[in-house]
Amino acid sequence: MSMKKAYEKKLQGKLDEWSAEIEKLKAKADSAEADAQLEYYKQIEELQSMQEAVSKKLDELKEAGDDAWEDLKAGMDNAWDSLSSAIKSATSRFGQ
């Protein structure tokens, strides 16, 4: 398996994992008190938007040739780190 394919597979697996995490957050938001629900749903919306952006970048990466994918990797890693941090932050806030 090429480095590009391995990287794509790793990212897709993590995206799937984060989708499940966002679904758990939605369930917590649904059972929260009314005041907290608004804040939770706002955070979930932001996470979903970030996730969509990462997913689009992953699609671009998949379409890129073997010689061009390294150029996209840096941007992908930055978007990835932002989404990862946001999900961890939301998970810790929802856990309170």
For the chain, what's the residue count? 96
**pTM of this prediction exceeds 0.85:** no
- Whether 83 and 18 have beta carbons less than 8 Å apart is answered as yes
Does residue 20 carry a pLDDT above 90?
Answer: yes
Radius of gyration over alpha carbons of the chain, in Å? Answer: 15
State which residues form the domain around 28: 3-94
Total domains present in the chain: 1
Both tokens of 55, joined, read 């997913």
* pLDDT, tens only, 36-66: 888 889 999 999 999 999 899 889 888 888 7
